[in-house]
Chains A and B, each alone.
Chain A
Amino acid sequence: MKRHITNRELARYIAGAMSNRKRTSVAEHLTQCDRCRARHEKMLAVIAPRYFSLRASDAAKVRVMRSRDKLAEGEDAYAPGGIRSILSLHPRAFIAASLALVTAVAVTAALLLRPPAGEARLHLAAVIADAGVTINDHPVRDRDKVFEQSAIILPDKTTMRLEYGRGFSITLIGPAIFSIDRLMSRGPSEPVVVECTLAQGLLVSASDGTGKKVAYTYNTPDARVEPVGTEFLLQSAGGTTLVVMKTGSVRVKPERSAESVAVSSGNRCMVAEKTEISKADPEDLKIFGSMEQLRAGAFGHRLLKPEPLGKDTELEHKRFKGRLIDHKQIHGNSKRKLQLETPDNRDKERGKSLRRDKIISPVKPGMREKDRINKNKKLIRNAQKAIRQKRRTSR
């Protein structure tokens, strides 16, 4: 062979896949050609055996024989130990046990984190709420939850109905400033305690005795009204409190007097400088027939003259158990603004006490309504600002 060996020929020669005649020819060439011989030697060096001298350890044989014995006994040659063996042998039992454990942990956590029964946080439902009505400076929409420590402001000609179950309801008619000071129950068998304050305005309270028992009390600047399963009208305006009974009876305790008086059905009670109880006119009882007419002012001549919001009223705040703050006294503002203050929310911001997300009113208010809302907002903002200032100065 006069030419150099090709890669194919070299490969076939090394592999031994060549005919004898060709093989002899290549072998002769390799003895004569240094270049091809170098290539051949390089190739042989590259593919020289590298692993043949390696030996498997003796332990490998022992392992194989042990595996054979295990398999003969019906065990798995690869069976893992510890918790993995349980998982591989009883996967369903393992999963069931894991789920049971997770459930137990979740139930325990839920029981531990559950609030005590005595401190269960109850709420009233705002069944009907007109546009412009605000709770703690937030517009209200229907079916919102109203918790304790909520200040409700109703502009003129607006109404709002609060319910607890089916047996107890409060219908508020604006202009009104109302707050729910306390709403709690000591236990499942104990009655629900509701304490409200009607700073000004008008409400109709109804309790038909069905559903869960509710022990409720209304405070006005002039009196404390404790009804016992009844339906009545309560109005507070211009330093006067008016109670018109439809059914049942209420106990009225005037602020100026130590003695309380009982007002039974069909009577009306006026609490001002003096407390007067008189027989209600049949026309008075028609008030309970139509809330719409009541809101429209159809019974204005039978009730107290309502006060507009934001105007200077003649409320005697000092006698109002410290719940109302006269801002004129605080920073000499000519406008008297009311801020409901209770011991529990004294250190809280008012907006946080209503436990719900930001509310978007479903009813788009008109320009006039917007003015009213803004006015209310401004009123509350100023009051909060005054409280903050007062705290700063007291420190």
Chain B
Amino acid sequence: MIDNKTLSDIYDRHHHELFVYICGFTRMPEVAEDFLHDAFVRLIRYSQKYPLDPDNIRAFLYRTARNICIDHARRNRKLDISPLKDNIESAGSVPEDDLELRELRSKVNSLVDDRDQVSRSVYLMRTELEMPFQDIAEALGISERTAKRKMSSMLEYLADSLEKAGFKLFIFFLLSLLAILIVIYK
């Protein structure tokens, strides 16, 4: 079984990236902390049965965290439980009061949720943790090429969807303007 010092080292080394990764799935820091704990408990249990390979610990933790998040999402789907709003504050350089950006991010969140788990993982690791594709590939157990392809695909999907949304908004704006003009000049 893993000893206290090793566990403490592993925790210190990986807990932040794992926490951010889980937050990307759950969008609730309190829940993410619970899942982080669960992921480490599974690691401890695994170490009770099998010897740990230091090279695989990170991949193990990511895989476990992802599985826990997937289980949570399934349960929530059954129970119809979902966070009422994205309660995690923006950490970027963009001002908070930018309403349009908030809406766009909310839209991106829902778009990301629609994609498969591997694509979501790649996207979160790349955007939130700025991990190199090699590390992403190792952590997720996929090839680097696949990781790049998944990321490109995700971004293209986001760009297309946002463009369509913008086009719809533009058409709506035009129609509203037209309606106002008709009312005025009638």
Contacts and interface: CB of A to CB of B under 8 A. Distances in A.
B184 interface: no
A11 B19 contact: no
Interface stretch (A41-49, A122-130, A203-211): A41-49
Given A14-B155, A61-B11, A50 B41 contact: no
B71 to A, nearest CB: 14
Given A17-B149, A47-B108, A77-B41, A54 B158 contact: no
A182 B175 CA distance: 93
A364 interface: no
A15 B155 contact: yes
B140 interface: no
A77 B41 CA distance: 8
A151 B19 CA distance: 85
Chain B interface mostly helix, strand, loop or mixed? helix
A113 interface: no
A223 B69 CA distance: 93
Contact of B88 (A39, A46, A54, A55): A54
Nearest to A60: B33
Q: How large is the interface on B (under 10, 10 to 19, 20 to 34, 35 or more residues)?
A: 35 or more
B23 to A, nearest CB: 4
B126 interface: yes
B33 A49 contact: no
Interface of A: 7-8, 10-12, 14-17, 39, 42-43, 45-57, 60-61, 63-65, 67-69, 71-72, 77-78
Interface of B: 1-2, 4, 7-8, 11, 15-16, 19-20, 23-24, 29, 32-33, 36-37, 40-41, 44-45, 48, 88-94, 101, 104-105, 108, 123, 126-130, 133, 148-149, 151-156, 158-160, 162-163
15 contacts: A7-B160, A12-B156, A43-B155, A43-B158, A47-B123, A47-B155, A49-B92, A49-B130, A51-B20, A52-B128, A53-B91, A54-B19, A56-B33, A64-B36, A77-B41
The 10 closest A-B pairs by CB, nearest first: A11-B155, A48-B92, A53-B91, A17-B148, A11-B156, A7-B159, A15-B151, A51-B23, A56-B19, A64-B40
